[in-house]
């Protein structure tokens, strides 16, 4: 089966701009998760969508937002980009289960570089 796909692979922006990252989950998966992997900080949870609804959110400012479309694909939007937003952004998907029992399958990530 096709895995989680993310686009673009690499995105270069300048401070103050807006970035949009995209994710297509594995077919049949309804939950999509976004993570930020910043240098030295490990993975940090950003957002969780299931069935088009935001289910949970990590400790990130409101300029990090997203949405999930009816086909379960998802977008992560980052407004007013700051230098510290430079990181690898990972998307993961799992079968919809609000109990969180299902392990997540990860994409290759989008490398966001802020100049």
Partner 1 sequence: AQSVSQHNHHVILSEAASLELGCNYSYGGTVNLFWYVQYPGQHLQLLLKYFSGDPLVKGIKGFEAEFIKSKFSFNLRKPSVQWSDTAEYFCAVNGYSSASKIIFGSGTRLSIRP
Least distance (Å) from partner 1 to the CB of residue 99?
6
Nearer Cβ to partner 1 (38/75): 38
Least distance (Å) from partner 1 to the CB of residue 45?
5
DSSP per-residue letters across 64-108: EEEEE-TTS-EEEEE-S--GGG-EEEEEEEE---TT--SPPEE--
Q: Which residues bind partner 1 (CB under 8 A)?
A: 3-4, 33, 35, 40-45, 48, 55-56, 58, 90, 92, 98-101, 103-109
105 contact partners, CB below 8 Å, separation of at least 6: 3, 4, 26, 29, 92, 93, 94
Nearer Cβ to partner 1 (17/58): 58
The first and second tokens of residue 46, run together, are 């950003």
Least distance (Å) from partner 1 to the CB of residue 14?
27
Nearer Cβ to partner 1 (81/110): 110
């Amino acid at each position: 089966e096709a895995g989680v796909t993310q686009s673009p692979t690499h995105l270069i922006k300048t401070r103050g701009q807006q970035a949009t990252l995209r994710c297509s989950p594995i077919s049949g998966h309804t939950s999509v998760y976004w993570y930020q992997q910043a240098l030295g900080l490990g993975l940090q949870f950003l957002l969780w969508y299931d069935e088009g609804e935001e289910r949970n959110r990590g400790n990130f400012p409101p300029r990090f937002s997203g949405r999930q479309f009816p086909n379960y694909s998802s977008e992560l939007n980052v407004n007013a980009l700051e230098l510290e937003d430079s990181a690898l952004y990972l998307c993961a998907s799992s079968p919809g289960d609000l109990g969180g029992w299902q392990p997540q399958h990860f994409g290759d990530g989008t490398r966001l570089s802020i100049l």
